[in-house]
A and B are shown apart, each in its own frame.
Chain A
Amino acid sequence: MPSSYAPSSARLAFSPYLAGAPPGAIGSYADPEPQGGLLPDALAASRAALQRAVMWRLRELAALSSPSGEPPLPLTWQPSRRAAAAVEQMLAAGARPSEVLGSRSGPGAVDLSRVPPALSGLCLLGPPDLALALAAPGGQPQALVGKDWTALSHSCRGPTAPGLAPGASSPSGSLGPLGWVEALPRSLGVLPGLPALSCLPWQPPSLAALRAFFRDLHPRQRHVGVDDAVLPWFRDVKAAAARAVAAEGGVRAAAAFAVFGVPPGWRAAVWETALGLRRPKSGAAGTAGEGGGGGGRSRAGDGGADAVDGGRSLDLEDAAQFEALCAQALAQPMLLDVVVGEDVGPGVGDSQAFFLFEEPVRAMLLAFLRDGQVAPRLAAPPPAQLQMGGPAEAMLAPSPAPQPLVMGSADGDAAAAGGAVPYYPPCGALPHKGLALLAAPLCYMYDKPAASYKIFRAMYCRYWSKLVSLSAAAPPRPALPGLLRVFEALLQELDPPLNAHLSRLGLLPACLALPWICTAFAGALPVQEVLLLWDRVVGLDSLMPLPLLAVAVMCFRRPVLLACGSAAEVLAALADISQLRTVPLMQAVLFSGAEGEGEGEGIGGGEEGGSGGG
């Protein structure tokens, strides 16, 4: 266990080996509240409303999940004897805890089978909730709490993996993953933007400022995701460079490299380096082991990669830690496991691209909930309600819980080291809709769930936790409100007619972009494009590429969207964006007007087939 080198601050998130590296190698990504931590009133109200709603749902969930007549489920409980015996048997047969934990109908899930069918597809926190919370005009965020959350959750069920199962069985499939937007109050459409965003204490960056920020995306630079498709030599050069970057182990160099895209096969090494998860090259790192961390490159006969992989022991340690968390999940089910299960099932299990990874993803998320090392490192600090002894516990434990809660036990070292208050769940983050989709693409990079887990945890702490945080943070490190604000402003600057057209149809553009942004486009775009997008997130160390791409998609589909005569048509036109290509689109939207028309390839390569909209 890493207690011996417990990092002193969140700055060194999961980078124990950076302790010896120059300070500031990884800059802070924590959420500094602007102006001394004062949150604008409207945003504070939104946040309060959202948190109230989530707490209320949690209690509902506890009540609904327990068999009728019995007291609501406690936060955690002991598995039934039968389930425990089944787990015991499988473990004795040599299965790893993560394998047992992952299976949908395995013994690990036995206790969750109590969930009534009415709750299938539930989510504690989904795009509709975020949209409503941000839309609630200053004084009255009550609307959200009053909403029947089950109905809301159902309305956003649909095929949750957008574009992957278009027109699938669900009746609401015609509108696709955006179906819930129709359920939003129509009055939203007449607003110029989400009300809670207008009071952010900073001006959204102009197009010129964004061009400066994204200067590395300029088409005059060669990019993986565009140029590698047509220039074989470029692929070779990039692969060689990636090898060097990973071998050298510099955080900054790796990030600077990732901005231009990482050649497939080298992504794991480069990202790990950029996120500070790797030991910088040293003499001691000579073990030629390949512990899954390298994505099995040696199997592909790509010699020379081995020298890069420093620590087999490190991998073993990670794996042990991961398995321990999985074992803990088996030993002590948690109410939130239900929520995770309902996210993984439809989001990953029913997705054509990801269904093979349902088991690892489930294990990863269940382990994640219990990982006490997450909370102190979250870029968006956990809400106070989740603290032990806080409102969540008070609300959820009206009847005395039969078992003592052993939150702190397995991660006591981390809690003690960070001096953090233990949370429920221990990770300090509530599972939101799409969490599973944030984990699934990483399974394309690693063989072992433990390795995927490590990078998922790092990325969640650094980036994804901001996707559901209602903080007022400003670019270049915005949280969700900031991302949506950037989106609104950029769309307005680039294409006012489109903005006006959508508003006329009763649609707020930010609501359309929200589900894409909340899952960082995972599930909406094909995996390789998602990873190319995340390359830029890692490279720029910012979530800003997300709103940029969202605007680019809107602009690219402009003719179709303008031809749409109803909200439903718009939703259908945006339901499937699985043919789009990330990098050319972002380049086109930023730079196509800037320096002549020399960059036609950017737009031309944007899409392979149009989508039927209206």
Chain B
Amino acid sequence: MVQDVRTGATSADDLTAQMMYNVLIKGLDGGPIRWRSSLKNTIYDVLQSKADWAETESETDWDFFWADKGWIHHELDKMHLADWQRINHFPNHYELTRKDLLIKNLKRAKKQLEREDRAAEAAQYNFFPLTFVVPSEYRMFVEEFKRSGGVWIMKPIGKAQGQGIFLFNKLSQISDWRRDHTWKPGQETQEGDDGPETYLAQRYLESPYLVGGKKFDLRIYALVTSYSPLRIFLYRSGFARFTNARYSTRKEDITNTFVHLTNVAIQKHAPNFDAQKGLKWSIRSLRTYIATKHGAEAASELFHAIQNIIIRALLAVQPAMINDKHCFELYGYDVMIDSNLKPWLIEVNASPSLTASDKTDWVLKTAMLEDLLDIVDLEGKREAGKVELRMGGFDLIWDGGPVMRFDKPTSLPSMLGCYNERDRNQLRVYKKTGPPESGKEMRSARPRPEGGGAGGAAGAGAGAGAGGKLP
């Protein structure tokens, strides 16, 4: 992810002009919407393309702030936000997005449901692989491992983009790891920073669904505008990220991360990786593929199940979340599908990469962010309190309760992966204006760079920010 490191390239003149502009707009009642962005990728493009919106550098005087997580953790609680100010994270989003906390919340939700004698619903919380937090649950893990064996995956909770992940099928294979992480079994970590790094030991999904012999995971976007009541919008488009190498569970291949991890950051180092081509498939293509092969019902069922995972994960963390009416959050869900067409939740990202790796990616992300801004509705265009079932490519899937859609007799249980005319419309925009060069050099007020040739190649590297991790 490209952090806003405003290197002092700005000339003094620009600065003065900017300051004067700020003074000017602050003086105007109901003037332009002042926005600020910590990121210099598609969100920046989208914000900048908004007519009558103005960028601001101010720490406090903004109407809309696309902040990085660090800022949220360190600054948000120090600020008092005015009614109209909007910011893109909830203060304790990590309840959902930190791997170990997510698992903890899911387990707790399941137990709670069992206590309430809602066994059927509790049984639905079966969409995450068996997971132990090590070192704290090391003994339980070893017990389970000895009992059931199989291939397991170790993931450091604090790292992104596939770093530090490895697979193993013998306890001896983690002995190196244990040496590196000087801890003794059973020792509870007290001070988070000084203790050994926490890992998740997770049962590996050994028979993933393959397309063309290759493994993939899905990146799906969901927007939460409120946790009380919980209000979720699901974006129709998304993509599947494929590995470059043919999937195999042969023993020799256990250590070959190119076979097992779909992270772009990993795959771009694989032999034969073709940055131009990428390894992404739109969810719509995947839905077509599954419907063609297994029938429309099977596809419908699968995508409905994925939608339910997204809802249940949020329901599980809802009690822990501090609702804040200034906040909204765009989550990037990583979902895998196994060979029985059952979806599994891998993790949730609070800062899904918004860097565009290629044309399709740019189209997807800018269209989504524009729709997001429409939903957040800083201009107050919509009637207060009115929520629409569908806003651009977003479909409302939960609004304090299930959203029933009987507007059409053929309405699908989930619109995920369905035709999204936003993709096509945005492609027209892309063709008309050309893609902005991704991020860094964009200093001018109206970036209208010439052709798009370089964008794809340069962006592919930056696209590694996907931050997804995968078993």
Contacts and interface: CB of A to CB of B under 8 A. Distances in A.
A527 to B, nearest CB: 6
A527 B288 CA distance: 8
A444 B340 contact: no
Interface in A571-610: 608-609
B285 interface: yes
Contacts of A266: 295
A263 interface: yes
19 contacts: A94-B250, A99-B213, A99-B246, A105-B272, A169-B453, A229-B410, A230-B410, A232-B410, A235-B297, A264-B291, A264-B293, A265-B292, A265-B293, A265-B296, A300-B341, A356-B281, A357-B212, A358-B212, A444-B292
A301 B341 contact: yes
A358 B242 CA distance: 14
B419 A356 contact: no
B292 A528 contact: yes
Interface string B270-304: 00100011000110010011011111111000000
Given A229-B410, A264-B293, A296-B294, A359 B213 contact: yes
A300 B291 contact: no
Nearest to B242: A356
Contacts of A527: 288-289, 292
A445 interface: yes
A444 B293 contact: yes
A297 B294 contact: yes
A265 B295 contact: yes
Interface string A286-322: 0000000001110111100000000000000000000
B296 A228 contact: yes
A531 interface: yes
A300 B298 contact: yes
Nearest to A239: B295
Contacts of B289: 444, 527
Contact of B291 (A301, A360, A528, A609): A528
Contact of A609 (B213, B285, B292, B421): B421
A447 B247 CA distance: 13
Interface of B: 210-214, 242, 246, 250, 252, 272, 276-277, 281-282, 285, 288-289, 291-298, 339-341, 360, 409-410, 419, 421, 424, 431, 453
A358 B213 CA distance: 11
A104 B408 CA distance: 46
Interface in A75-100: 93-94, 99
A353 B285 contact: yes
Given A169-B453, A359-B213, 18 more contacts: A99-B213, A103-B272, A230-B410, A232-B409, A235-B297, A239-B295, A263-B295, A264-B295, A265-B291, A265-B298, A299-B339, A300-B298, A302-B294, A352-B285, A352-B360, A356-B211, A357-B212, A444-B289
Nearest to A354: B212
A366 interface: no
Contacts of A105: 272
B445 to A, nearest CB: 27
B427 to A, nearest CB: 8
Contacts of A162: none
Contacts of A302: 294-295, 298
A509 B339 CA distance: 47
Contacts of B212: 356-360, 443
A300 B295 contact: yes
A232 B412 CA distance: 10
Contacts of A300: 293-295, 298, 341
Contact of B294 (A93, A103, A295): A295
Nearest to A103: B272
Nearest to B251: A94
B368 to A, nearest CB: 19
Nearest to A531: B292
A207 B212 CA distance: 42
B20 to A, nearest CB: 41
Contacts of A301: 298, 340-341
Nearest to A268: B293
Which of B210, B211, B242 gathers most chain A CB within 10 Å? B211
B455 to A, nearest CB: 12
Contacts of A539: none
Given A104-B272, A229-B410, A299-B341, A356 B214 contact: yes
B284 to A, nearest CB: 10
Interface in A43-64: none
B294 to A, nearest CB: 4
Given A169-B453, A356-B281, A609 B295 contact: no
A372 B296 CA distance: 38
Nearest to A356: B212
Nearest to A448: B213
Interface band, chain A: 35 or more
Contacts of A295: 293-294
Contacts of B296: 228, 235, 263-265
A104 to B, nearest CB: 7
Contacts of B281: 352, 356
Contact of B421 (A350, A352, A353, A608): A608
B192 to A, nearest CB: 42
A543 B211 CA distance: 30
Nearest to A98: B213
Nearest to B339: A299
A222 to B, nearest CB: 15
A198 to B, nearest CB: 41
The 9 closest A-B pairs by CB, nearest first: A265-B295, A300-B294, A356-B212, A300-B298, A444-B292, A357-B212, A264-B292, A295-B293, A265-B294
A609 B423 CA distance: 12
A613 to B, nearest CB: 14
A407 to B, nearest CB: 30
A554 B422 CA distance: 27
A295 B252 CA distance: 29
A445 B293 CA distance: 5
A230 B412 CA distance: 11
A528 B294 CA distance: 13
A526 interface: yes
Contacts of B419: 608
Contacts of A447: 210
A444 to B, nearest CB: 5
A239 B410 CA distance: 17
A433 interface: no
Given A608-B419, A609-B424, A445 B339 contact: no
A167 interface: yes
Nearest to B245: A103
A93 B250 CA distance: 9
Which of B294, B339, B424, B431 gathers most chain A CB within 10 Å? B294
B27 to A, nearest CB: 44
A505 to B, nearest CB: 24
Nearest to A267: B292
Which of A232, A350, A447 gathers most chain B CB within 10 Å? A447
Contacts of A267: 292
Nearest to B250: A94
Contacts of B293: 264-265, 295-296, 300, 444-445
Interface string A89-119: 0000110000100011100000000000000
Contacts of A443: 212
A355 interface: yes
Given A297-B294, A301-B341, A360-B212, A350 B277 contact: yes
Contacts of A230: 409-410
Contact of A167 (B246, B409, B431, B453): B431
Contacts of B424: 608-609
Nearest to A443: B212
Contacts of B246: 99, 359
A169 B282 CA distance: 20
A261 interface: no
Contacts of A93: 250, 252
A349 interface: yes
Which of B277, B295, B409 gathers most chain A CB within 10 Å? B295
